[in-house]
Amino acid sequence: MTTTPDSPVLASTTDSRPDRGTGPDAVLPGDTAPPTPAADLVEGTVPASSAISPAEPGGLDMDVIQELLLGRWAAERRQARENAKDPRLHKVEGLPMAEHRERVLQQLGLLVEARAVQKAFPAHLGGEDNHGGNIAAFIELGSADPSLQIKAGVQWGLFGSAILHLGTSDHHEKWLPDVISLKLPGAFAMTEIGHGSDVASLATTATYVPETDEFEVHTPFKAAWKDYLGNAALHGRAAVVFAQLITRGVNHGVHAFFVPIRDESGAFLPGVGGEDDGLKGGLNGIDNGRLHFDRVRIPRTNLLNRYGSVAADGTYSSDISSPGRRFFTMIGTLVQGRVSLALSGAAASALALKGAITYGNQRRQFNATSDTHEEVLMDYQLHHRRLIDRLARTYADAFAGNELLEKFHSVFSGESDTDDDRQELETLAAAIKPLATWNALDTLQEAREACGGAGFMAKNRFASLRADLDIYVTFEGDNNVLLQLVGKRLLADYSKELSGFSVGALSRFVVAHATEAVVHRSGLRRMVQSVQDAGSERKSANWFKETAVQRALLEDRVRTKTGAVAQALLPVARKSRAEQAATFNRHQTELIDAARNHAELLEWEAFTRAVGRVEDDHTRQVLTWLRDLFALRVIEDDLGWFLENGRISPQRAKTLRQYINRLAYRLRPHAQDLVDAWGYAPEHVRMDVATGEEARRQNEAAEYYRTQRASPEAPVPEKSLPKTSGRR
């Protein structure tokens, strides 16, 4: 199949056979140049970087920084980056939705040919059992096209992973080979119109019919229709459908079922229907849609029964007796989506900062210090503050994401897979994913603004990337709902420490535990004694940069806020469910605030551990400044709380912003190196502002004005003429 930018896609949009037009010579919708051969895609493993050489005098050890940023699976990330250089995988800005969808479908075929999708699947099915490496590779697809990244995530990270983790060996053998090869494109049908994040309350039912040994899948009303599903509008042939399992008149809660939805021609099967969600705010290379089921029958064996089974006579059985625990165990197996988005958010922020900081180091504006030379944008305090602050935060996102990925791999590989490990993984993912994805949107917007009008041009990708990543903050769990989950875990952990107290004693203990006791125990009492600091900005600054002080401030904030919510909930602990819910609702924002603070503490800790692994003194010093900037910006954003609660003295608070400015000034000469250390090549960035073209324009202009100043014919500025009295 060949197309030009002005020609329609010739193939039927209902024909999603993966073998169509994905060979070495394929031209994808939107291509304007001959494609590179499929052999240019990397197959196999790219060797890890060679032995790290010592840093140059005064320079940063870029190799060490890059290894820290890329983490344990650096080789898999580099391999994926080599693949992402292929122009056939790149997003074509402005491509019509239908052509974009077709292009992305065929790009999935290219990934299959390059053996880039098998890492997480079992070795006996051609995979590598490499769960961490799989997500590490997935992250890098975002630099090519976020639609490609997410559609690949739907096919192999959601649809395929649900079969892998919720099904049994029979299911694996029957369906996974075709899922891996893309012969069987599929959808992940969990979300309903009426129940987004509330998965336990899904209304779709799967009722067992013993007479025919089948389940009957049914959406009883429109709010129960499955919605926003990738692959549902056009390409999916089957779906993993989450529904309430009913047998012998008992609802055993949400389970997953394999349900065929289309025939080979692309037409819906009897009883299955759907709608195209149409044009979205971003990610328009994915065919999102709705599905509904009118008493669709599927074999009993299509129940993905790793955690719950139904016998031929309708008897239900499970190794997990508690329905609640069984539900959370099943849902917990799907946590990889949140892990993936957390690291993808950090990667998108890095791309944005690569473009904006490169441009800021070349673009000149206004004659602030010289009559003949304009200033580089990055030399203005506001400009380097707005970008370097976010650079520090992006490093924190990356280091925390790497530790989250390590935890994910240890659980899913079986290295460390206890109930406590899984709960810790779920909580970590629910904490880090919101910060990294919110930060990505903020960073993309700020980077766009920092590039002025150029940043709004499609060829510089900021607006496009922000539109595509917008949905990351609400899918795989709305960020605020995820933070509420974290907050509830904080309350649970807090209550364990206080078990055994009577209600009255507990109330008195919580008050003390959340205030003065914490101050004394953590050594924070000395921070409210500001007399010694009077007139000494240096003492205050030195205090802020102490690692122990930063840790104590951030830890105490989480503990105190959590304790305050716990204290508010105590009086209704034994009252009606309605009273408990009403009280919780009155303190919901406080709990989510504490959870977000907890996530910031986790990021600070990950950053600190990363810095501790650096041996080169100068590199460690620069990364320590970057860590300090992250910590103090977090504290500055909540400075009112620290002052109100006596954790920071007014004297020290006065010096905080000045010291933050000083840190950003120290980091300014290293900003370019710190974004270059991510290792993104021009094929990944693809922004005109990062090509060096601006530097060439500036040099041309500077040479023009230099020549003009040297010329006797150069016009004289009016303001340089002698003043004369009267009218001219």
Asked if 233 and 266 count as a contact pair (C-beta separation under 8 A), the reply is no
As a whole number, mean pLDDT of residues 162-179 equals: 97
pLDDT of residue 498: 58
Share of the chain above pLDDT 70, in %: 86
Q: Of 83, 189, 168, which is closest to residue 122 (Cα–Cα)?
A: 168
What letter represents residue 80's amino acid?
A
How far CA 268 is from CA of 158, 163, 238, 279, 289, in Å, comes to: 21, 22, 10, 21, 13
pLDDT of residue 497: 66
Asked if 478 and 196 count as a contact pair (C-beta separation under 8 A), the reply is yes
- Return d(Cα 228, Cα 240) in angstroms, integer: 14
Q: What is the pLDDT of residues 435-482, one digit of tens each?
A: 999 999 999 999 999 999 999 999 999 999 999 999 999 989 899 999
Q: What is the pLDDT of residues 345-386, one digit of tens each?
A: 999 999 999 999 999 999 888 877 777 778 888 998 898 999
**pLDDT above 70 for 13:** no
Rg (CA), the chain: 29
Q: What is the pLDDT of residues 91-122, one digit of tens each?
A: 999 999 999 999 999 999 999 999 999 999 99
Report residue 171: phi and psi, to 5°.
Answer: -65, -40
Strands 238-247 and 186-189: parallel
Angle between helices 381-412 and 62-70 (to 10 degrees): 50
Least confident of 9-18, 202-211, 423-432: 9-18
pLDDT of residue 714: 84
- Please give the domain boundaries of the chain with CATH numbers for all domains: 1-35+63-184 (1.10.540.10), 186-330 (2.40.110.10), 336-526+536-676 (1.20.140.10)
As a whole number, mean pLDDT of residues 526-543 equals: 56
Cβ atoms < 10 Å from Cβ of 373: 13
* Dihedral in degrees, nearest 10, Cα atoms 670, 381, 660, 607: -40
pLDDT of residue 517: 45
How far CA 503 is from CA of 393, 506, 560, 573, in Å, comes to: 41, 5, 19, 9
- Return d(Cα 183, Cα 177) in angstroms, integer: 8
Provide CB contacts within 8 A for 285, sequence distance 6+. Answer: 91, 100, 101, 103, 104, 145, 147, 148, 151
Share of the chain above pLDDT 90, in %: 72
**pLDDT above 80 for 389:** yes
**pLDDT above 90 for 32:** no
Q: What is the pLDDT of residues 588-611, one digit of tens each?
A: 999 999 999 999 999 999 999 999
532-537 contact pairs (CB < 8 A, 24+): 533/649, 533/651, 533/652, 534/651, 537/655, 537/658
pLDDT of residue 26: 57
* Dihedral in degrees, nearest 10, Cα atoms 279, 282, 286, 288: -50
**pLDDT above 80 for 728:** no
125-129 contact pairs (CB < 8 A, 24+): 125/172, 125/173, 125/176, 125/177, 125/180, 126/177, 126/180, 127/180, 129/413
**pLDDT above 70 for 31:** no
**pLDDT above 50 for 624:** yes
Cβ atoms < 10 Å from Cβ of 59: 14
As a whole number, mean pLDDT of residues 188-206 equals: 93
**pLDDT above 80 for 281:** yes
Least confident of 227-241, 245-259, 263-277, 512-526: 512-526
Average pLDDT, the chain: 87
pLDDT of residue 536: 59
The alpha carbon of 186 is separated from its chain's Cα centroid by a whole number of angstroms, namely 23
pLDDT of residue 656: 93
pLDDT category at 36 given cuts 50, 70, 90 is: very low
**pLDDT above 90 for 698:** no
Q: What is the pLDDT of residues 41-91, one digit of tens each?
A: 544 433 333 233 333 444 899 999 999 999 999 999 999 999 999 999 999
The CB-side HSE value for 284 (13 A sphere, CA atoms) comes to 16
pLDDT of residue 30: 72
Quote the pTM value.
0.89
Q: Per 3-state DSSP, what percentage of the chain is helix, strand, and coil (rounded to 5)? A: 55, 10, 35
